Amino acid sequence: MTRDQAQARPPEVLLDAPAVRAIDERLARAGLLELVMEEAGRAVAQAALSLTAHGFATHGRVLLLAGGGANGGDALVAARHLHAAGLDVQVLAQPSRHPLTRANRARLRAVGVQPALLTPAALGRALGLTGPVPALVVDGLLGTGFRPPMRQDLAHLVTLLNAARDRHALTVLAIDLPSGLDAASAALPDVTVHADHTVTLGGPKPALVYGPAAHAAGQVRVAGLGVPHAWVDAHAVARRPHDDTVAALLPQRHADAHKGDAGRVWIVGGHAGTVGAPVLAGLGALRAGAGLVTLHSAESGVATLAVTQAPELMARTHHDPGAALAAELRAGRRPDAVALGMGLGPDAAHLARQALTWQLPTVLDADALQPDLAGAGHAQVIWTPHPGEAARLLGVTTPDIVRDPIAAARALQARLGGVIVLKGGPTTIASDDGVNVSRGGHPGMASAGMGDTLGGILAALLAQRLPAPQAALCGVRLHARAGELAGDRHGYGLSASDLSSELGHAWKILTDAHPRNLLR
Protein backbone atom coordinates (compact mmCIF):
# COMPACT_ATOMS: atom_id res chain seq x y z
CA MET A 1 0.00 0.00 0.00
CA THR A 2 1.29 3.44 -0.92
CA ARG A 3 1.47 6.36 1.46
CA ASP A 4 -1.42 7.98 -0.45
CA GLN A 5 -3.56 4.87 0.04
CA ALA A 6 -2.70 4.70 3.73
CA GLN A 7 -3.84 8.31 4.18
CA ALA A 8 -7.20 7.76 2.47
CA ARG A 9 -10.27 7.63 4.67
CA PRO A 10 -11.47 4.18 5.68
CA PRO A 11 -14.24 3.03 3.35
CA GLU A 12 -17.84 3.27 4.40
CA VAL A 13 -19.08 -0.23 5.20
CA LEU A 14 -22.38 -1.92 4.41
CA LEU A 15 -23.88 -4.05 7.17
CA ASP A 16 -26.57 -6.71 7.03
CA ALA A 17 -28.41 -8.33 9.93
CA PRO A 18 -25.75 -11.00 10.71
CA ALA A 19 -23.08 -8.29 10.69
CA VAL A 20 -25.06 -6.14 13.13
CA ARG A 21 -25.62 -9.12 15.41
CA ALA A 22 -21.92 -9.97 15.40
CA ILE A 23 -20.95 -6.39 16.21
CA ASP A 24 -23.54 -6.24 19.00
CA GLU A 25 -22.18 -9.46 20.47
CA ARG A 26 -18.67 -8.03 20.48
CA LEU A 27 -19.90 -4.82 22.08
CA ALA A 28 -21.77 -6.80 24.71
CA ARG A 29 -18.63 -8.78 25.56
CA ALA A 30 -16.74 -5.52 25.93
CA GLY A 31 -19.48 -4.00 28.10
CA LEU A 32 -20.13 -1.27 25.52
CA LEU A 33 -23.57 -2.11 24.17
CA GLU A 34 -25.44 0.28 26.45
CA LEU A 35 -23.06 3.12 25.60
CA VAL A 36 -23.54 2.47 21.89
CA MET A 37 -27.34 2.59 22.24
CA GLU A 38 -26.93 5.93 24.00
CA GLU A 39 -24.75 7.17 21.14
CA ALA A 40 -27.27 5.91 18.57
CA GLY A 41 -30.16 7.69 20.28
CA ARG A 42 -28.12 10.87 20.53
CA ALA A 43 -27.40 10.72 16.78
CA VAL A 44 -31.11 10.30 16.02
CA ALA A 45 -31.94 13.26 18.26
CA GLN A 46 -29.33 15.41 16.51
CA ALA A 47 -30.84 14.51 13.13
CA ALA A 48 -34.31 15.38 14.40
CA LEU A 49 -33.07 18.70 15.79
CA SER A 50 -31.44 19.56 12.47
CA LEU A 51 -34.74 18.89 10.72
CA THR A 52 -36.74 20.98 13.17
CA ALA A 53 -34.25 23.80 12.66
CA HIS A 54 -34.80 23.70 8.90
CA GLY A 55 -38.47 24.13 8.22
CA PHE A 56 -40.30 23.21 11.43
CA ALA A 57 -41.43 25.44 14.25
CA THR A 58 -39.30 24.75 17.32
CA HIS A 59 -42.49 24.39 19.36
CA GLY A 60 -43.85 21.67 17.07
CA ARG A 61 -44.49 18.22 18.53
CA VAL A 62 -42.12 15.34 17.75
CA LEU A 63 -43.81 11.94 17.76
CA LEU A 64 -41.54 8.95 18.35
CA LEU A 65 -42.70 5.39 17.70
CA ALA A 66 -40.73 2.78 19.65
CA GLY A 67 -40.88 -0.91 18.88
CA GLY A 68 -40.01 -3.65 21.32
CA GLY A 69 -36.43 -4.26 20.16
CA ALA A 70 -33.17 -2.34 20.11
CA ASN A 71 -34.55 0.00 17.45
CA GLY A 72 -37.20 1.05 19.93
CA GLY A 73 -34.52 1.56 22.56
CA ASP A 74 -32.75 3.99 20.21
CA ALA A 75 -36.04 5.89 19.83
CA LEU A 76 -36.46 6.14 23.62
CA VAL A 77 -32.94 7.52 24.03
CA ALA A 78 -33.61 10.02 21.26
CA ALA A 79 -36.83 11.09 23.00
CA ARG A 80 -34.92 11.81 26.20
CA HIS A 81 -32.37 13.98 24.38
CA LEU A 82 -35.09 15.83 22.46
CA HIS A 83 -36.97 16.47 25.68
CA ALA A 84 -33.78 17.82 27.25
CA ALA A 85 -33.40 20.14 24.24
CA GLY A 86 -36.80 21.64 25.01
CA LEU A 87 -38.94 20.02 22.32
CA ASP A 88 -42.48 18.81 22.86
CA VAL A 89 -42.02 15.04 22.78
CA GLN A 90 -44.69 12.36 22.52
CA VAL A 91 -43.74 8.68 22.66
CA LEU A 92 -45.85 5.69 21.69
CA ALA A 93 -44.14 2.41 22.55
CA GLN A 94 -44.77 -1.29 22.27
CA PRO A 95 -44.12 -3.61 25.21
CA SER A 96 -40.53 -4.84 25.30
CA ARG A 97 -38.46 -7.66 26.76
CA HIS A 98 -35.19 -6.14 25.56
CA PRO A 99 -33.26 -5.20 28.73
CA LEU A 100 -31.69 -2.02 27.36
CA THR A 101 -34.96 -0.87 25.83
CA ARG A 102 -36.72 -1.41 29.15
CA ALA A 103 -33.98 0.47 30.99
CA ASN A 104 -34.24 3.44 28.64
CA ARG A 105 -37.99 3.52 29.02
CA ALA A 106 -37.48 3.87 32.79
CA ARG A 107 -34.95 6.68 32.22
CA LEU A 108 -37.40 8.49 29.97
CA ARG A 109 -40.06 8.28 32.65
CA ALA A 110 -37.57 9.59 35.19
CA VAL A 111 -37.14 12.84 33.23
CA GLY A 112 -40.88 13.36 32.99
CA VAL A 113 -41.89 11.78 29.67
CA GLN A 114 -44.43 8.97 30.00
CA PRO A 115 -44.56 6.68 26.94
CA ALA A 116 -48.08 5.60 26.01
CA LEU A 117 -48.98 2.21 24.61
CA LEU A 118 -48.73 2.08 20.84
CA THR A 119 -52.14 1.08 19.50
CA PRO A 120 -53.93 1.96 16.25
CA ALA A 121 -56.27 4.31 18.12
CA ALA A 122 -53.41 6.06 19.94
CA LEU A 123 -51.43 6.36 16.74
CA GLY A 124 -54.40 7.80 14.85
CA ARG A 125 -54.90 10.48 17.47
CA ALA A 126 -51.18 11.30 17.59
CA LEU A 127 -51.01 11.63 13.81
CA GLY A 128 -53.65 14.34 13.78
CA LEU A 129 -56.93 12.55 13.20
CA THR A 130 -58.48 14.41 16.15
CA GLY A 131 -55.97 17.20 16.76
CA PRO A 132 -52.85 18.97 15.50
CA VAL A 133 -50.42 17.01 13.37
CA PRO A 134 -46.87 16.45 14.64
CA ALA A 135 -43.96 18.42 13.22
CA LEU A 136 -41.92 15.24 12.84
CA VAL A 137 -42.48 11.50 13.23
CA VAL A 138 -39.56 9.25 14.20
CA ASP A 139 -39.92 5.62 13.09
CA GLY A 140 -38.28 3.28 15.60
CA LEU A 141 -40.59 0.30 15.12
CA LEU A 142 -38.40 -2.30 13.40
CA GLY A 143 -34.67 -2.62 12.81
CA THR A 144 -32.17 -4.83 11.01
CA GLY A 145 -33.38 -8.02 12.64
CA PHE A 146 -36.76 -7.86 10.88
CA ARG A 147 -37.61 -10.19 8.00
CA PRO A 148 -40.81 -9.76 5.94
CA PRO A 149 -43.66 -10.42 6.00
CA MET A 150 -44.80 -8.03 8.69
CA ARG A 151 -47.24 -9.06 11.41
CA GLN A 152 -50.77 -7.88 10.74
CA ASP A 153 -50.93 -5.60 13.80
CA LEU A 154 -47.67 -3.87 12.82
CA ALA A 155 -48.76 -3.64 9.19
CA HIS A 156 -51.88 -1.79 10.34
CA LEU A 157 -49.73 0.75 12.21
CA VAL A 158 -47.46 1.27 9.22
CA THR A 159 -50.44 1.76 6.91
CA LEU A 160 -51.85 4.39 9.28
CA LEU A 161 -48.51 6.21 9.36
CA ASN A 162 -48.08 6.22 5.57
CA ALA A 163 -51.66 7.43 5.04
CA ALA A 164 -51.16 10.28 7.52
CA ARG A 165 -47.86 11.18 5.88
CA ASP A 166 -49.55 11.49 2.51
CA ARG A 167 -52.59 13.33 3.88
CA HIS A 168 -50.75 15.90 6.02
CA ALA A 169 -47.36 15.99 4.24
CA LEU A 170 -45.74 14.75 7.44
CA THR A 171 -41.98 14.42 7.61
CA VAL A 172 -40.82 10.96 8.74
CA LEU A 173 -37.35 10.18 10.08
CA ALA A 174 -36.48 6.46 10.20
CA ILE A 175 -33.99 4.96 12.63
CA ASP A 176 -31.45 2.68 10.91
CA LEU A 177 -33.85 1.80 8.07
CA PRO A 178 -37.57 2.30 7.42
CA SER A 179 -39.65 -0.29 9.23
CA GLY A 180 -40.63 -3.10 6.90
CA LEU A 181 -37.45 -3.28 4.84
CA ASP A 182 -35.26 -6.36 4.90
CA ALA A 183 -31.81 -4.90 5.63
CA ALA A 184 -30.07 -7.16 3.10
CA SER A 185 -32.58 -6.94 0.26
CA ALA A 186 -33.25 -4.43 -2.49
CA ALA A 187 -36.88 -5.57 -2.64
CA LEU A 188 -39.57 -3.13 -1.54
CA PRO A 189 -42.28 -4.97 0.42
CA ASP A 190 -45.90 -3.93 0.02
CA VAL A 191 -46.02 -2.67 3.61
CA THR A 192 -43.06 -0.43 4.49
CA VAL A 193 -42.72 2.93 6.17
CA HIS A 194 -41.98 5.58 3.58
CA ALA A 195 -39.47 7.91 5.19
CA ASP A 196 -38.18 11.29 4.11
CA HIS A 197 -34.93 10.86 6.04
CA THR A 198 -33.08 7.90 7.52
CA VAL A 199 -30.31 7.88 10.12
CA THR A 200 -28.50 4.60 9.62
CA LEU A 201 -26.26 3.39 12.44
CA GLY A 202 -22.68 2.22 12.01
CA GLY A 203 -22.97 1.91 8.23
CA PRO A 204 -25.60 1.76 5.49
CA LYS A 205 -27.62 -1.37 5.02
CA PRO A 206 -27.88 -2.80 1.48
CA ALA A 207 -31.59 -1.90 1.45
CA LEU A 208 -30.61 1.76 1.77
CA VAL A 209 -28.24 1.61 -1.20
CA TYR A 210 -30.07 -0.47 -3.82
CA GLY A 211 -33.44 0.36 -5.34
CA PRO A 212 -36.30 -0.04 -5.16
CA ALA A 213 -35.94 -0.54 -1.39
CA ALA A 214 -33.80 2.59 -1.15
CA HIS A 215 -36.68 4.65 -2.55
CA ALA A 216 -38.43 4.26 0.82
CA ALA A 217 -35.52 5.72 2.80
CA GLY A 218 -35.41 9.30 1.53
CA GLN A 219 -32.17 11.11 2.32
CA VAL A 220 -29.77 8.83 4.21
CA ARG A 221 -27.14 9.96 6.68
CA VAL A 222 -24.70 7.64 8.43
CA ALA A 223 -24.16 8.00 12.16
CA GLY A 224 -20.91 6.75 13.61
CA LEU A 225 -21.32 5.11 16.99
CA GLY A 226 -17.86 5.52 18.50
CA VAL A 227 -17.06 1.90 17.66
CA PRO A 228 -13.53 1.13 16.37
CA HIS A 229 -13.65 0.99 12.57
CA ALA A 230 -11.87 -2.36 12.56
CA TRP A 231 -14.69 -3.89 14.61
CA VAL A 232 -17.27 -2.78 12.06
CA ASP A 233 -15.13 -3.46 8.99
CA ALA A 234 -14.45 -7.04 10.08
CA HIS A 235 -18.15 -7.84 9.61
CA ALA A 236 -18.89 -5.69 6.56
CA VAL A 237 -20.93 -7.33 3.82
CA ALA A 238 -19.47 -4.78 1.38
CA ARG A 239 -17.54 -1.52 1.33
CA ARG A 240 -18.04 1.86 -0.35
CA PRO A 241 -14.67 3.53 -0.88
CA HIS A 242 -14.49 7.31 -0.83
CA ASP A 243 -13.20 9.31 -3.75
CA ASP A 244 -9.86 9.94 -2.06
CA THR A 245 -9.24 6.19 -2.18
CA VAL A 246 -10.04 6.12 -5.89
CA ALA A 247 -7.80 9.13 -6.54
CA ALA A 248 -4.90 7.40 -4.78
CA LEU A 249 -5.26 4.39 -7.08
CA LEU A 250 -5.46 6.20 -10.42
CA PRO A 251 -2.41 5.81 -12.67
CA GLN A 252 0.29 8.46 -12.60
CA ARG A 253 2.48 9.50 -15.51
CA HIS A 254 6.03 10.74 -15.68
CA ALA A 255 6.64 14.05 -17.39
CA ASP A 256 8.42 12.24 -20.23
CA ALA A 257 5.62 9.71 -20.86
CA HIS A 258 4.73 8.77 -24.44
CA LYS A 259 1.87 6.87 -26.04
CA GLY A 260 3.62 3.53 -25.73
CA ASP A 261 3.84 4.00 -21.97
CA ALA A 262 0.13 4.80 -21.72
CA GLY A 263 -1.01 1.36 -22.78
CA ARG A 264 -2.09 -0.44 -25.96
CA VAL A 265 -5.72 -1.62 -26.02
CA TRP A 266 -7.39 -4.02 -28.42
CA ILE A 267 -11.15 -3.84 -28.64
CA VAL A 268 -12.77 -6.82 -30.34
CA GLY A 269 -16.39 -6.31 -31.28
CA GLY A 270 -18.94 -5.20 -33.79
CA HIS A 271 -21.46 -7.07 -35.89
CA ALA A 272 -24.06 -6.11 -38.46
CA GLY A 273 -26.35 -3.62 -36.72
CA THR A 274 -24.05 -3.05 -33.73
CA VAL A 275 -21.04 -1.34 -35.26
CA GLY A 276 -21.29 1.52 -32.77
CA ALA A 277 -20.58 -0.62 -29.71
CA PRO A 278 -16.81 -1.11 -30.22
CA VAL A 279 -16.44 2.53 -31.29
CA LEU A 280 -18.03 3.68 -28.04
CA ALA A 281 -15.70 1.37 -26.14
CA GLY A 282 -12.77 2.83 -28.03
CA LEU A 283 -13.81 6.37 -27.15
CA GLY A 284 -14.05 5.36 -23.50
CA ALA A 285 -10.56 3.84 -23.64
CA LEU A 286 -9.06 6.96 -25.25
CA ARG A 287 -10.68 9.29 -22.76
CA ALA A 288 -9.51 7.10 -19.87
CA GLY A 289 -5.90 7.53 -20.92
CA ALA A 290 -5.00 4.64 -23.23
CA GLY A 291 -2.13 5.57 -25.55
CA LEU A 292 -3.10 3.41 -28.53
CA VAL A 293 -6.53 1.89 -29.18
CA THR A 294 -7.19 -0.51 -32.04
CA LEU A 295 -10.63 -1.84 -32.97
CA HIS A 296 -10.70 -5.36 -34.44
CA SER A 297 -13.86 -6.62 -36.15
CA ALA A 298 -15.18 -8.81 -38.91
CA GLU A 299 -17.63 -6.03 -39.79
CA SER A 300 -16.21 -3.35 -42.11
CA GLY A 301 -18.73 -0.80 -40.84
CA VAL A 302 -16.79 -0.52 -37.60
CA ALA A 303 -13.77 0.98 -39.37
CA THR A 304 -15.98 3.32 -41.38
CA LEU A 305 -17.73 4.63 -38.28
CA ALA A 306 -14.51 4.94 -36.32
CA VAL A 307 -13.01 7.28 -38.92
CA THR A 308 -15.96 9.65 -38.67
CA GLN A 309 -16.37 9.52 -34.89
CA ALA A 310 -12.77 9.48 -33.67
CA PRO A 311 -9.90 9.48 -36.16
CA GLU A 312 -7.57 8.74 -33.23
CA LEU A 313 -8.96 5.21 -33.18
CA MET A 314 -7.21 2.65 -35.35
CA ALA A 315 -9.49 0.01 -36.89
CA ARG A 316 -8.80 -3.27 -38.65
CA THR A 317 -11.24 -5.55 -40.42
CA HIS A 318 -10.57 -9.30 -40.37
CA HIS A 319 -12.35 -12.18 -42.06
CA ASP A 320 -11.48 -14.27 -38.98
CA PRO A 321 -10.62 -11.99 -36.01
CA GLY A 322 -9.58 -14.88 -33.78
CA ALA A 323 -7.02 -16.20 -36.25
CA ALA A 324 -5.76 -12.71 -37.09
CA LEU A 325 -5.22 -11.76 -33.47
CA ALA A 326 -3.55 -15.08 -32.67
CA ALA A 327 -1.13 -14.35 -35.50
CA GLU A 328 -0.45 -10.91 -34.06
CA LEU A 329 0.41 -12.47 -30.72
CA ARG A 330 2.70 -15.08 -32.29
CA ALA A 331 4.54 -12.23 -34.01
CA GLY A 332 5.15 -10.61 -30.61
CA ARG A 333 2.66 -7.76 -31.09
CA ARG A 334 0.87 -7.99 -27.78
CA PRO A 335 -1.54 -5.40 -26.40
CA ASP A 336 -1.50 -4.39 -22.76
CA ALA A 337 -5.22 -5.11 -22.42
CA VAL A 338 -8.12 -6.54 -24.43
CA ALA A 339 -11.82 -5.64 -24.30
CA LEU A 340 -14.04 -8.15 -26.04
CA GLY A 341 -17.74 -8.66 -26.68
CA MET A 342 -19.20 -5.22 -27.47
CA GLY A 343 -21.73 -5.95 -30.22
CA LEU A 344 -19.67 -8.99 -31.24
CA GLY A 345 -22.56 -11.29 -32.06
CA PRO A 346 -22.54 -15.09 -32.50
CA ASP A 347 -18.74 -15.48 -32.60
CA ALA A 348 -18.38 -14.01 -29.12
CA ALA A 349 -18.30 -17.23 -27.09
CA HIS A 350 -15.55 -18.80 -29.21
CA LEU A 351 -13.46 -15.63 -29.27
CA ALA A 352 -13.88 -15.08 -25.53
CA ARG A 353 -12.62 -18.56 -24.72
CA GLN A 354 -9.69 -18.00 -27.05
CA ALA A 355 -8.89 -14.61 -25.49
CA LEU A 356 -8.85 -16.08 -21.99
CA THR A 357 -6.02 -18.39 -23.03
CA TRP A 358 -3.86 -15.37 -23.92
CA GLN A 359 -3.47 -14.57 -20.21
CA LEU A 360 -3.73 -10.84 -20.91
CA PRO A 361 -5.60 -8.25 -18.82
CA THR A 362 -9.06 -8.67 -20.33
CA VAL A 363 -12.53 -7.13 -20.13
CA LEU A 364 -15.40 -9.42 -21.17
CA ASP A 365 -18.68 -7.69 -21.90
CA ALA A 366 -22.04 -8.20 -23.58
CA ASP A 367 -21.99 -11.12 -26.07
CA ALA A 368 -18.78 -12.51 -24.52
CA LEU A 369 -20.56 -13.24 -21.22
CA GLN A 370 -21.40 -16.89 -21.69
CA PRO A 371 -22.25 -19.50 -19.03
CA ASP A 372 -19.91 -22.09 -20.56
CA LEU A 373 -16.93 -19.89 -19.61
CA ALA A 374 -17.41 -20.78 -15.93
CA GLY A 375 -14.03 -21.36 -14.31
CA ALA A 376 -12.10 -20.01 -17.29
CA GLY A 377 -11.34 -16.63 -15.76
CA HIS A 378 -8.02 -15.58 -14.30
CA ALA A 379 -6.87 -12.85 -11.92
CA GLN A 380 -6.67 -10.15 -14.62
CA VAL A 381 -10.12 -10.67 -16.11
CA ILE A 382 -13.00 -8.25 -15.50
CA TRP A 383 -16.50 -9.51 -16.35
CA THR A 384 -19.14 -6.76 -16.79
CA PRO A 385 -22.69 -8.21 -16.79
CA HIS A 386 -25.87 -6.23 -16.33
CA PRO A 387 -28.58 -7.99 -14.24
CA GLY A 388 -30.10 -9.81 -17.21
CA GLU A 389 -26.72 -11.16 -18.29
CA ALA A 390 -25.88 -12.06 -14.70
CA ALA A 391 -29.11 -14.05 -14.46
CA ARG A 392 -28.16 -16.01 -17.58
CA LEU A 393 -24.69 -16.69 -16.22
CA LEU A 394 -26.06 -18.00 -12.92
CA GLY A 395 -29.14 -19.76 -14.29
CA VAL A 396 -31.57 -17.67 -12.22
CA THR A 397 -34.06 -14.89 -12.95
CA THR A 398 -33.29 -11.20 -13.30
CA PRO A 399 -35.41 -10.35 -10.21
CA ASP A 400 -33.20 -12.75 -8.23
CA ILE A 401 -30.16 -10.68 -9.22
CA VAL A 402 -31.81 -7.33 -8.54
CA ARG A 403 -33.11 -8.47 -5.15
CA ASP A 404 -29.61 -9.15 -3.77
CA PRO A 405 -26.84 -7.75 -6.00
CA ILE A 406 -24.15 -8.39 -3.39
CA ALA A 407 -24.92 -12.12 -3.18
CA ALA A 408 -25.21 -12.26 -6.97
CA ALA A 409 -21.81 -10.60 -7.51
CA ARG A 410 -20.22 -13.01 -5.03
CA ALA A 411 -21.78 -16.00 -6.77
CA LEU A 412 -20.60 -14.77 -10.17
CA GLN A 413 -17.07 -14.24 -8.91
CA ALA A 414 -16.97 -17.72 -7.41
CA ARG A 415 -18.24 -19.24 -10.66
CA LEU A 416 -16.23 -17.25 -13.21
CA GLY A 417 -13.08 -16.11 -11.40
CA GLY A 418 -11.37 -12.76 -11.79
CA VAL A 419 -13.34 -9.61 -11.00
CA ILE A 420 -17.08 -9.05 -11.42
CA VAL A 421 -18.53 -5.65 -12.26
CA LEU A 422 -22.28 -6.17 -11.84
CA LYS A 423 -23.65 -3.05 -13.48
CA GLY A 424 -26.52 -1.11 -11.96
CA GLY A 425 -27.40 1.87 -9.87
CA PRO A 426 -25.17 1.36 -7.92
CA THR A 427 -22.67 -1.03 -9.50
CA THR A 428 -21.35 -3.92 -7.40
CA ILE A 429 -17.73 -5.07 -7.74
CA ALA A 430 -16.66 -8.49 -6.44
CA SER A 431 -13.10 -9.83 -6.36
CA ASP A 432 -10.89 -11.93 -4.14
CA ASP A 433 -10.46 -8.74 -2.08
CA GLY A 434 -14.18 -8.63 -1.21
CA VAL A 435 -17.18 -6.66 -2.43
CA ASN A 436 -17.25 -2.93 -3.16
CA VAL A 437 -20.30 -0.85 -4.03
CA SER A 438 -19.93 2.20 -6.24
CA ARG A 439 -20.91 5.75 -5.46
CA GLY A 440 -22.60 8.35 -7.62
CA GLY A 441 -23.94 8.25 -11.13
CA HIS A 442 -26.95 9.84 -12.81
CA PRO A 443 -30.34 8.40 -13.84
CA GLY A 444 -29.78 9.71 -17.37
CA MET A 445 -27.12 7.00 -17.73
CA ALA A 446 -29.88 4.46 -18.31
CA SER A 447 -29.32 4.47 -22.07
CA ALA A 448 -27.69 2.34 -24.74
CA GLY A 449 -23.93 2.29 -25.03
CA MET A 450 -23.07 3.17 -21.44
CA GLY A 451 -21.81 -0.35 -20.78
CA ASP A 452 -19.67 -0.30 -23.92
CA THR A 453 -18.06 2.93 -22.73
CA LEU A 454 -17.40 1.41 -19.31
CA GLY A 455 -15.72 -1.60 -20.94
CA GLY A 456 -13.33 0.70 -22.76
CA ILE A 457 -12.56 2.64 -19.58
CA LEU A 458 -11.74 -0.56 -17.73
CA ALA A 459 -9.50 -1.79 -20.53
CA ALA A 460 -7.60 1.51 -20.56
CA LEU A 461 -6.93 1.27 -16.82
CA LEU A 462 -5.80 -2.33 -17.14
CA ALA A 463 -3.48 -1.26 -19.96
CA GLN A 464 -2.01 1.36 -17.62
CA ARG A 465 -0.92 -1.46 -15.31
CA LEU A 466 -3.65 -1.29 -12.69
CA PRO A 467 -4.49 -4.70 -11.16
CA ALA A 468 -7.99 -5.79 -12.11
CA PRO A 469 -9.66 -5.08 -8.71
CA GLN A 470 -8.25 -1.54 -8.68
CA ALA A 471 -9.06 -0.96 -12.36
CA ALA A 472 -12.65 -2.00 -11.68
CA LEU A 473 -12.94 0.30 -8.67
CA CYS A 474 -11.47 3.30 -10.48
CA GLY A 475 -13.21 2.66 -13.79
CA VAL A 476 -16.66 2.37 -12.29
CA ARG A 477 -16.24 5.58 -10.29
CA LEU A 478 -14.82 7.52 -13.25
CA HIS A 479 -17.76 6.32 -15.33
CA ALA A 480 -20.25 7.40 -12.67
CA ARG A 481 -18.56 10.78 -12.08
CA ALA A 482 -18.51 11.49 -15.81
CA GLY A 483 -22.21 10.63 -15.89
CA GLU A 484 -22.86 13.16 -13.13
CA LEU A 485 -20.98 15.84 -15.06
CA ALA A 486 -22.81 14.98 -18.28
CA GLY A 487 -26.09 15.24 -16.36
CA ASP A 488 -25.13 18.70 -15.12
CA ARG A 489 -24.37 19.77 -18.68
CA HIS A 490 -27.13 18.09 -20.69
CA GLY A 491 -29.92 17.36 -18.24
CA TYR A 492 -31.84 14.12 -18.03
CA GLY A 493 -31.35 12.15 -21.24
CA LEU A 494 -27.70 11.30 -21.77
CA SER A 495 -25.85 9.50 -24.52
CA ALA A 496 -22.73 7.42 -24.07
CA SER A 497 -20.84 9.98 -26.15
CA ASP A 498 -21.91 12.70 -23.71
CA LEU A 499 -20.36 10.67 -20.92
CA SER A 500 -17.11 9.96 -22.77
CA SER A 501 -16.57 13.66 -23.36
CA GLU A 502 -16.64 14.25 -19.58
CA LEU A 503 -14.16 11.53 -18.60
CA GLY A 504 -11.13 13.82 -18.62
CA HIS A 505 -12.99 16.35 -16.49
CA ALA A 506 -14.06 13.59 -14.08
CA TRP A 507 -10.45 12.42 -13.74
CA LYS A 508 -9.32 16.01 -13.09
CA ILE A 509 -11.97 16.59 -10.42
CA LEU A 510 -11.00 13.42 -8.57
CA THR A 511 -7.29 14.17 -8.63
CA ASP A 512 -7.65 17.92 -7.96
CA ALA A 513 -9.74 17.21 -4.88
CA HIS A 514 -7.12 14.74 -3.64
CA PRO A 515 -3.88 16.10 -5.14
CA ARG A 516 -0.71 14.12 -5.63
CA ASN A 517 2.58 14.73 -7.38
CA LEU A 518 1.46 13.73 -10.86
CA LEU A 519 4.73 14.58 -12.67
CA ARG A 520 7.60 12.72 -11.06
- Residue-wise pLDDT tens digits, 385-429: 999 999 999 999 999 999 999 999 999 999 999 999 999 989 999
Q: Contact, 252 vs 516, CB < 8 A?
A: yes
Q: Contact, 104 vs 74, CB < 8 A?
A: no
Q: Is 24 annotated as a binding residue?
A: no
> What does the buried/exposed string (b/e) look like for 248-274 if buried means 16 or more CB atoms within 10 Å of the residue's CB?
bbbbeeeeeeeeeebbbbbbbbbbeeb
Q: Is 101 annotated as a binding residue?
A: no
Q: Is 9 helix (H, G, I), strand (E, B) or coil?
A: coil
Q: Is 67 annotated as a binding residue?
A: no
Q: Mean pLDDT in the chain?
A: 92
Residue 60 has a pLDDT of 79
Residue 11 pLDDT class (50, 70, 90 cuts) = confident
d(CA 177, CA 290): 43
Q: Is 139 annotated as a binding residue?
A: yes
Q: Is 104 annotated as a binding residue?
A: no
Residue 192 pLDDT class (50, 70, 90 cuts) = very high
Q: Is 483 annotated as a binding residue?
A: no
As a whole-number percent, the residues of the chain with pLDDT over 70 amount to: 96
Beta-carbon contacts of 310 under 8 Å, excluding residues fewer than 6 positions away, are 279, 282, 283, 286
What's the pLDDT tens digit per position in 34-86? 999 999 999 999 999 998 766 544 457 999 999 999 999 999 999 999 999 99
Q: Is 146 annotated as a binding residue?
A: yes
Q: Is 371 annotated as a binding residue?
A: no
Q: Is 475 annotated as a binding residue?
A: no
Residue 487 reports pLDDT greater than 60 = yes
Residue 7 has a pLDDT of 52
Q: Is 343 annotated as a binding residue?
A: yes
d(CA 290, CA 93): 60
Q: Contact, 268 vs 278, CB < 8 A?
A: yes
What's the pLDDT tens digit per position in 333-386? 999 999 999 999 888 889 999 999 999 999 999 999 999 999 899 999 999 999
Q: How many CB atoms lie within 10 A of CB 114?
A: 9
Q: Contact, 306 vs 295, CB < 8 A?
A: yes
Q: Give the predicted TM-score (pTM) of the model.
A: 0.92
Beta-carbon contacts of 414 under 8 Å, excluding residues fewer than 6 positions away, are none
Q: Is 205 annotated as a binding residue?
A: no
Q: Which of 4-18, 57-71, 426-440 is least confident?
A: 4-18
Q: What is the DSSP string of 438-473?
A: -----GGG-STTHHHHHHHHHHHHHHTT--HHHHHH
- Identity of the amino acid at 343: G
